[in-house]
């Protein structure tokens, strides 16, 4: 912290969501500070632009700090404390005060009412301009040298002095991407992909690409990992909220398996065959004289229903009341316990999310200040905190940026 009468200078390294929010917080808490965002690329807020298919999934309509924290596979306990300072309801209010209304969709994801990430980007740029925050592009920080009174930042052209530094550089796919922080004494949890889809090569289910089953339960065989929700069939395998959320919870386990494992899918999200039989018996009163292909008792998408019948070896032209008990049991077993071999993953380049980063044991998680480097703070995905899909990673960025910017 600056002890002289000169203006406080704060560098934010990284022009993403966390970096901008940290900059706003610094100006809110230290009005006269000179705040500079240093972005190594030629553009800011790249993830904000592509998030939610270009609509920007700003946060999640979960307005309880304790409940909100449970959506973080890594960092639940410290995030719970941080959410008591700034959580989703505060995010909604922050944007509202700046003329940006957010809306919640059926799954609690929150977007700007304009359905455009440009709204969020424009809001941030306008706020930065209003607060006098300098945003410098293509500014790579080659080295940070701690001093007794602050930090010297070695840029490609010259050296700049700052009283405080906030690191908001995001995740890195490789541990070497954190070497510069390691050199400052921080320990690094090796990064692994945290949100990815399952590749299922050579399986005929890929013919159903584009199809969504709204209520499925996906389980990783040999583990306790499972998640329920929509499953999307893609040209490479399976995606959708259930798969993406499961990949987050299982990020480290699946990395250890080298992304080679079996998934067991309950396409009906019905507990067991006994319950499925009860539903089928009830429906048979209506559909017993229908062809099986036309009498779809569980409401699956028609293409998926036909695929399941083929997999069970059942002729769709068979009338329901003519179906043998053996074939019926085989069909129900496949619907409730379908198994696929996963061989590899697909990640989203622009929306790449990792678990790993600066070890939380090296950070005061009440202030976001480094315990290894006084006067240095962290915000966003550079630390070993990550949320499942649904607006939680942005919320972590807003919260950690808000707290870091206090410079407590």
Shared domain for 105 and 15, answered yes or no, is yes
Q: Which helix (H) or strand (E) holds 105?
A: none
The yes-or-no verdict on residue 220 having pLDDT over 90 is: yes
The yes-or-no verdict on residue 237 having pLDDT over 60 is: yes
Residue 354's pLDDT is: 87
Domain boundary (303, 331, 347) is at 347
Question: 259 is in which domain, residue-wise?
Answer: 196-347
Residue 3's pLDDT is: 43
Q: Which residues contact 180 (CB under 8 A, 6 or more apart)?
A: 143, 144
Q: Which residues contact 117 (CB under 8 A, 6 or more apart)?
A: 48, 49, 50, 51, 52, 54, 55, 56
CA distance 165 to 9: 9
CATH number at residue 83: 3.50.50.60
Domain boundary (301, 329, 347) is at 347
Dihedral pair phi/psi, residue 178, rounded to 5° = -105, 5
Q: Kindly state whether residue 323 falls inside one of the protein's structural domains.
A: yes
Asked whether the beta carbons of 272 and 336 are under 8 A apart, the reply is yes
Shared domain for 239 and 342, answered yes or no, is yes
Q: Kindly state whether residue 378 falls inside one of the protein's structural domains.
A: yes
Span 130-174, pLDDT tens digits: 999 999 999 999 999 999 999 999 999 999 999 999 999 999 989
Shared domain for 149 and 223, answered yes or no, is no
Number of domains within the chain: 2
Domain boundary (347, 368, 396) is at 347
Please spell the DSSP secondary structure of 166-189, one letter per residue. Answer: EE-----SSGGGGHHHHTTT--EE
Shared domain for 85 and 217, answered yes or no, is no
Residue 351 confidence class, pLDDT cut points 50, 70, 90: low
Shared domain for 279 and 388, answered yes or no, is no
Q: Kindly state whether residue 4 falls inside one of the protein's structural domains.
A: no
Residue 248's pLDDT is: 96
CA distance 369 to 232: 41
Asked whether the beta carbons of 334 and 52 are under 8 A apart, the reply is no
Q: Kindly state whether residue 367 falls inside one of the protein's structural domains.
A: yes
Shared domain for 62 and 132, answered yes or no, is yes
Shared domain for 223 and 370, answered yes or no, is no
Asked whether the beta carbons of 44 and 13 are under 8 A apart, the reply is no
Shared domain for 26 and 115, answered yes or no, is yes
Shared domain for 343 and 396, answered yes or no, is no
Shared domain for 168 and 187, answered yes or no, is yes
Residue 208's pLDDT is: 98
The yes-or-no verdict on residue 11 having pLDDT over 90 is: yes
Shared domain for 117 and 215, answered yes or no, is no
Shared domain for 59 and 157, answered yes or no, is yes
């Amino acid at each position: 912290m600056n002890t002289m009468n000169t203006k406080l200078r704060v560098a934010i390294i990284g022009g993403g969501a966390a970096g901008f929010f940290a900059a706003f917080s610094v100006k809110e808490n230290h009005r006269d500070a000179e705040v500079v965002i240093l972005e190594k690329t030629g553009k800011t807020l790249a993830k904000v632009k592509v998030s939610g298919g270009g609509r920007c999934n700003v946060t999640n309509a979960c307005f309880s700090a304790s409940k909100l924290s449970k959506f973080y596979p890594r960092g639940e306990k410290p995030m719970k404390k941080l959410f008591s300072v700034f959580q989703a309801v505060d995010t909604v209010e922050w944007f509202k005060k700046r003329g940006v209304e957010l809306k919640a969709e059926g799954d609690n994801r929150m977007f700007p009412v304009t359905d455009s990430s440009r709204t969020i980007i424009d809001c941030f740029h306008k706020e930065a301009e209003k607060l006098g925050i300098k945003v410098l592009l293509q500014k790579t920080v080659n080295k940070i040298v701690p001093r007794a009174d602050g930090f010297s930042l070695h840029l490609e052209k010259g050296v700049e002095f700052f009283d405080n530094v906030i690191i908001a550089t995001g995740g890195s796919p490789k541990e070497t991407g954190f070497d510069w922080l390691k050199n400052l004494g921080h320990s690094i949890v090796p990064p692994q992909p945290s949100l990815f889809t399952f590749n299922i090569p050579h399986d005929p289910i890929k013919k159903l690409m584009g199809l969504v089953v709204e209520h499925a339960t996906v389980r990783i065989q040999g583990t306790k990992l499972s998640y329920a929700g929509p499953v999307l069939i893609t040209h490479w395998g399976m995606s959708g909220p259930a798969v993406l959320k499961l990949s987050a919870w299982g990020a480290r386990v699946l990395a250890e398996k080298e992304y080679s494992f079996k998934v067991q899918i309950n396409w009906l999200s019905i507990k067991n065959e006994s319950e499925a039989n009860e539903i089928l018996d009830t429906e048979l009163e209506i559909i017993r004289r229908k062809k099986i292909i036309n009498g779809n008792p569980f409401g699956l998408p028609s293409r998926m229903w036909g695929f399941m019948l083929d997999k069970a070896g059942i002729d769709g032209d068979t009338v329901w009341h003519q179906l043998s008990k053996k074939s019926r049991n085989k069909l129900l077993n496949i619907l409730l316990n379908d198994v696929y071999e996963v061989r590899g993953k697909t990640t989203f380049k622009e929306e790449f999310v990792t678990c790993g980063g600066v070890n939380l044991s090296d950070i005061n998680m009440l202030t976001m200040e480094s315990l290894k480097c006084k006067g240095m703070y962290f915000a966003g995905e550079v630390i070993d905190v990550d949320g499942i899909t649904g607006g939680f990673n942005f919320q972590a960025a807003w919260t950690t940026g808000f707290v870091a910017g206090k410079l407590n």
